[in-house]
Amino acid sequence: MIIISNIISFILITYIANSFLKPRYSHRKHICILILIVIVFSIVNHNGTSPLKAIILLSLYFCYIFLLFKGKLIHKFLVIFPFFIIQIVSEILVGYFISNIPFLNLSKTTTSIEYILGIILSNIFFTLFTFVYVNVSKSLKIKNLPKYAWLIFILPIVTIILLASVNDYFILFKSNPNMFIYISILALSNLILVIIFILALNSTHMKNELEIAKQKQELINSKFNLLTQHYNYNFNFLHDLLHTCNKINLFLDSSDYSNAKDEVKNLTEITYKKFNAIYSNSFILNYAINNNLNKIIENKINIKTVFEYINFENLDFNTQLDLFNFLVNFSIDCCMKVDISQRIIIIKSKTKSNYLIIQILLPNIKINDNEIKEETKKILHNIDYSVNIKKIASSSMSLLISFPIHTNN
């Protein structure tokens, strides 16, 4: 009966392990190792348990789970410790019932009717509690636990030490009938505290997931708005282009070549500026330029973009948007302080020596370098970068921001 009981124990711990972990080996190899461990288990436990044997059995459970299953350490603990507590509580429960039945004589003889009855009842309780634990764990979704969740095992470990230190539960219950109530309360408190702890962790995890989902939705909305704006600018650009072409045709039909020539000149100038805004090779830079497009055209500012590299893996969407908005607005402010002939902005991106470089060429005016660097620091506060501002000609200066490129080895 003890051997059968040992086999049932390993079937049940395997059932729990399959709910949390993945098998490490093939089915055949798994069975071979299982048989070997069951044999060792039966040799140790052939005539009943004791505090020393309980420690040995717990060690065998550890060996079995760590040898035959793979997964996170915390999930392995969630298999071993609850399983061992369930096993001990089942034995205690049966011991209490049998000790309170008058016509049964308590015996630790492995061939006695009372001992066999105790094994049968303990395995029934053991199986029932195991199925309850697995189903409760599935409903609690305890696979999403953080690393510090190992704290939930402190109380179970203390409980295991206390319960395993009892040599004979029958004698204990006879000498102190209330001890069963104390042990039951201790085991129940283990379960309640673990459930509360897991529910609290799941609540925090759910809040974090909702926050992440909200941020993702906001990001999607921002990208959608950006694409919508890009489409609208393209549509308006084509609409204005067709309208201007129609005006030119009317001037030509009426032989008004002077106005036709002026209209062609204006069309060339506006088309050049709008084309650079619409097709800047970066949707986010487009957004920043198009927000100021009327201001750029009204103040006769020429803007050109040369983006050789657009994979800004160091910067998230919002950071890119803030950075380009700042650079475009700063460049326009600089142009507003010089003559029309000098109002030229060139925005470049390139790579050099594992660095991504964003360079703005703009009119040379007196600026406060510290203010520029402070504003850049606010935008790129959690990113590795460098800023360099220098005069490159009598009428132009360069604002250069560089980021290290993370390469995968």
Q: Where are the domains of the chain?
A: 2-177, 280-409
**317-326 residue pLDDT tens:** 888 888 888 9
**Mean pLDDT, rounded, for 161-181:** 64
In the chain, % helix, strand, coil (3-state, to 5) comes to: 70, 10, 20
* DSSP code, position 400: E
With a cut of 80, say whether residue 130 has pLDDT above it. yes
More confident call, 343 vs 27: 343
Count the Cβ atoms, other than its own, within 10 Å of residue 244.
16
Share of the chain above pLDDT 70, in %: 77
For the chain, give the mean pLDDT: 78
- Split at pLDDT 50, 70, 90, the class of 409 is very low
CATH classification of 280-409, choosing from 3.20.20.140, 3.30.565.10, 3.90.1150.10, 3.40.50.720?
Answer: 3.30.565.10
Q: Is 318 helix (H, G, I), strand (E, B) or coil?
A: helix
Rounded CA separation 94/126 (Å): 10
Read off the pLDDT of each residue in 240-265 and give the average, rounded to a whole number: 85
Classify residue 214 as left (phi > 0), alpha (psi -120 to 50) or beta: alpha
For residue 182, the SS3 value is helix
Angstrom distances, CA of residue 100 to CA of 95, 97, 170, 171, 174: 9, 5, 10, 12, 9
Please give the pLDDT value at position 75. 81
